[in-house]
């Protein structure tokens, strides 16, 4: 299994210097990074353009949840930055997702992913907002809606991957945050899974964060994860 492009490192940093340090230390060992709201707010879009200019792919995790016109504008802005993946909230509904997909058509490299249920949420959290379904049921419901709206794939927990493959088929992207190493603290993730289990279940990409970025030697940590997936 070639895992080179399937591992995305999350730059969950609160300032540019820290993100640039991680990227420099990983060097050629990592070609795909996630930039989320924290780093984007702290460092601005230039952090994305620098990564793209350096030959890296970028997953811009915006989690867009707005009126369709605004979502389309944000997706076009993401496409202009040269990113490869951008996220919208599936719970925003069909029109928001369809608007994002339509806006992405002008950027052949850009793929729209629908966030199903964030990995920190439990059945109880869904009940608090009036959703009576379990997380697993809600993930599949939203994934079907995302597919109908034309999204290229979904974001879901490692525990949801197998069910998603049965619904979406083999071609859709299934990107999994909430990936932790065996014995590692899952932190905020209520529905975590290991890198190997996520890929074995059919994830197209796994997102790793502190397992790599907080390591004494990030490049060695990433190579160790990769060896564990191919060994």
Residues annotated catalytic, as ranges: 63
**Residues in a beta bridge with 179:** 193
Looking from the CA of 35 toward its CB, the CA atoms found within 13 Å total: 31
Structure tokens at 87: 């996220």
> Tokens 């990107």 correspond to what residue?
175
Q: Are 53 and 73 in contact (CB under 8 A)?
A: no
Which contiguous run of DSSP H or E holds residue 137? helix 135-148
Q: Render the burial of 81-118: b for 16+ CB within 10 Å, e for the rest.
A: bbbbbbbbbbbbeeebbbbbbbbbeebeebbbbbbbbb
**Residues in a beta bridge with 30:** none
Looking from the CA of 228 toward its CB, the CA atoms found within 13 Å total: 16
Q: Are 207 and 192 in contact (CB under 8 A)?
A: no
């Amino acid at each position: 299994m070639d895992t080179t492009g399937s591992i995305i490192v999350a730059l969950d940093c609160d300032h540019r210097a820290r993100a640039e340090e991680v990227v420099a230390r990983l060097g050629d060992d990592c070609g795909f990074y996630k930039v989320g709201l924290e780093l984007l707010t702290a460092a601005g879009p230039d952090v994305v353009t620098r990564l793209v200019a350096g030959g890296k792919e970028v997953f811009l995790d915006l989690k867009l949840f707005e009126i369709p016109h605004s979502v389309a504008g944000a997706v076009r802005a993401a496409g202009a930055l040269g990113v490869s993946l951008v996220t919208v909230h599936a719970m925003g509904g069909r029109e928001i997702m369809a608007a994002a997909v339509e806006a992405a058509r002008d950027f052949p490299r850009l793929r729209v992913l629908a966030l199903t249920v964030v990995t920190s949420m439990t059945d109880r959290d869904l009940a608090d907002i009036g959703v009576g379904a379990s997380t697993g049921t809600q993930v599949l419901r939203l994934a079907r809606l995302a597919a109908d709206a034309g999204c290229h794939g979904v974001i879901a927990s490692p525990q949801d991957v197998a069910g998603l493959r049965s619904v979406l088929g083999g071609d859709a992207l299934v990107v999994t945050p909430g990936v932790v190493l065996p014995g590692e603290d899952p932190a905020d993730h209520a529905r975590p899974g290991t890198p190997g289990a996520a890929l074995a279940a059919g994830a197209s990409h796994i997102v790793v964060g502190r397992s790599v970025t907080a390591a004494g030697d990030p490049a060695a940590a990433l190579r160790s994860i990769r060896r564990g997936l191919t060994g």
